[in-house]
Copies of this chain bind each other. A is one copy, B any other.
Amino acid sequence: MDILKPYLLFLGDVPDDLAAKTAHGIVDWRREWCVGQLRLPGCKADCGLPDLTLEEAKARGARTMIVGVVNAGGRLPSHWVGRIVDAIEQGFDVATGLHRRLASIPEIAEAARRRGARLHDVRFSDIEFETGKGVKRPGLRLLTVGTDCSVGKKYTALALEAEMRARGLNAEFRATGQTGVFISGRGVAIDAVVADFIAGAAEWLSPANDPDHWDVVEGQGSLFHPSFAGVTLGLLHGAQPDAFVVCHEPTRARMRGVRHPLPTIQDIIDRTVIEGQLTNPAIRCVGIALNTEALGDDAARALIAETGERHALPCCDPIRTGVGPLVDEIERRFPRGGPA
């Protein structure tokens, strides 16, 4: 799926910015793709973009209206439907990450058919993936992995892409979740793929490439998460990473949504190497990314230093300190021209 750019971000009338998390993610990483936001009366979210009507957005060149919000229950409220139909009538494509397909709503399906608009439901995949082949592909790959869900795997991957590109490396973010798909304009929500095709979808997402090209693949879940480890393992096998970065939130006590305690960073390093060797025997850890948002600056910096020392690996907080040390390690371990 290739989502046409630039975007108009539809924020509906959601009660807070948390509900507009996806829209905020897009603006954080791809401000240049966003011509503006469309808010309904009562909307309490604000992405800091110009408020535009459909006509104004169209005049500024917007091609796709992104429904970058979720309401309670993940459903599409009926008073949003009319506005989506209006957008289609104006010539927009529409994209959402909701749990219901846009085309399952008759008015939207009918309008899209009439106008030839493309509807992108990024939580669903209409691609017919093959099963994974496990054959090593040319090109370099990095995967972000985590001690848990929601510990900064997407953010770290995007920060790595930005820093690698700033240094002239040929790096490309590969999205595996809905927000990531909007941010990169392509990708696949890997947790929505049929189980037989997890590894195959990851292979599709990150095809053979130039020997010095880096795919920076957004990780999902955790090998130690009892709900989602299957997704994590299939993604690891399909992505065939040469390098991985462990993401961790140091103040969290239990894994999200379950009673299990968090694994340690070392647990994740060891298990990722053991499992990843199946499709890439040369897999290695190149660093640790801590999400220290919950800590004061002194405590955070001390923890970053101590964690790096304990594992003998570069460690950073992508937001607080940047990912420079991780990219230093990548450049050291994989000098241009091939792995060291």
By CB atoms of chain B within 10 A, which of A190, A195, A258 has the most? A195
Given A257-B131, A258-B134, A278-B224, are A195 and B229 neighbors across the interface (CB < 8 Å)?
no
CB < 8 Å neighbour of A279 from B135, B226, B237: B226
- Interface residue stretch chosen among A21-29, A33-41, A196-204, A323-331: A196-204
The answer to whether B228 touches A196, judged by C-beta atoms less than 8 angstroms apart, is yes
- Within 260-302 of A, Cβ neighbours of B (below 8 Å) are at 260, 274-275, 278-279
Q: Is A8 an interface residue (CB 8 A)?
A: no
CA distance A257 to B278 in the complex (A): 15
CA distance A227 to B231 in the complex (A): 12
CB < 8 Å neighbour of A134 from B133, B226, B235: B226
CB < 8 Å neighbour of A190 from B133, B195, B198, B231: B195
Given A224-B278, A278-B224, are A230 and B135 neighbors across the interface (CB < 8 Å)?
no
Q: Is A304 an interface residue (CB 8 A)?
A: no
The answer to whether A191 touches B199, judged by C-beta atoms less than 8 angstroms apart, is no
CA distance A192 to B196 in the complex (A): 6
Q: Is A234 an interface residue (CB 8 A)?
A: yes
Specify the chain B residue showing the minimal Cβ separation from A202.
Answer: B230
CB < 8 Å neighbour of A194 from B195, B224, B229: B195
Determine the chain B residues whose CB is within 8 A of the CB of A228 once the complex forms: 131-132, 196, 199
Determine the chain B residues whose CB is within 8 A of the CB of A235 once the complex forms: 230
- Within 29-61 of A, Cβ neighbours of B (below 8 Å) are at none
With both chains docked as a complex, state the minimum distance between the C-beta of A102 and any C-beta of chain B, in angstroms: 18
- Within 196-246 of A, Cβ neighbours of B (below 8 Å) are at 196, 198-200, 224, 226-235, 237
Q: Is A183 an interface residue (CB 8 A)?
A: no
Query: What are 30 sample pairs from A and B whose C-beta atoms fall under 8 A apart?
Result: A131-B228, A131-B257, A132-B227, A132-B258, A133-B226, A133-B227, A134-B226, A134-B259, A135-B258, A135-B259, A190-B195, A191-B196, A192-B195, A192-B196, A193-B194, A195-B195, A195-B198, A195-B234, A196-B227, A198-B231, A199-B227, A199-B230, A226-B237, A229-B233, A230-B233, A230-B234, A230-B237, A231-B234, A233-B233, A260-B278
Contacts A199-B229, A224-B278 given; 18 further ones with Cβ under 8 A?
A: A131-B228, A133-B226, A133-B227, A134-B226, A190-B195, A192-B196, A195-B198, A195-B234, A196-B228, A196-B231, A198-B230, A198-B231, A226-B278, A226-B279, A230-B232, A230-B235, A231-B234, A260-B278
The 6 A-B pairs of least Cβ separation, nearest first, read A230-B234, A134-B226, A191-B196, A132-B227, A230-B230, A131-B227
